[in-house]
Amino acid sequence: MKAEAAIRFHSPNTLPLPMGYSQFVEVNRGRLIYIAGQVPCDAAGALVGKDDFRAQLVQIFTNLKHAVEAAGGTFADIVKLNYFCIEGISSEMMPTVREVRDQFVNTQAPPASTFVVVSRLVRPEWLIEIEAVAVINE
């Protein structure tokens, strides 16, 4: 008997065609890891990329990678991403999010995601914050 996959990414044709994300992720087993919202600060707490959206994204995805690795997983174990972007970022910058994200995720089975525009984040120099959920198969 074939073992059932621990995680399956779905985008059924009964839902709108997703643009670079999965509509839902089915988890059958594994250890659930919630990663707090990551911001564009390095390990010493210093801001990376003042007024530079791309640089902030790279730092945030690097922080997410470090977090999931500290839990014993890899970026491939991330099943959900939640983005919180300030309203001051123009819509022309949105492709940058996918360009940077695609350097980290499996683009054939991308995480489910939600993108929210907010008036501001806790620190005004932060342009975006991203939180994640990972499932690490034991």
Token pair in block for residue 57:
């994204």
Tally: H helices and E strands in the chain: 2, 6
Beta-bridged to residue 8, according to DSSP, are: 26
Mean pLDDT of 44-56: 98
Give long-range contacts, CB 8 A cutoff, 24+ apart: 66-70: 67/35, 67/36, 67/38, 67/132, 68/33, 68/35, 68/132, 68/134, 68/136
Confidence of residue 6 (pLDDT cuts 50, 70, 90): confident
pLDDT at 1: 44
Distances (CA, A) of 44 to 40, 41, 65, 91: 11, 8, 17, 31
Hey, what domains does the chain have and what are their CATH numbers? 7-136 (3.30.1330.40)
Confidence of residue 73 (pLDDT cuts 50, 70, 90): very high
pLDDT digits (tens, 9 = 90+) for 89-113: 999 999 999 999 999 999 999 999 9
Token pair in block for residue 61:
């995805």
- The pTM of this model reads 0.90
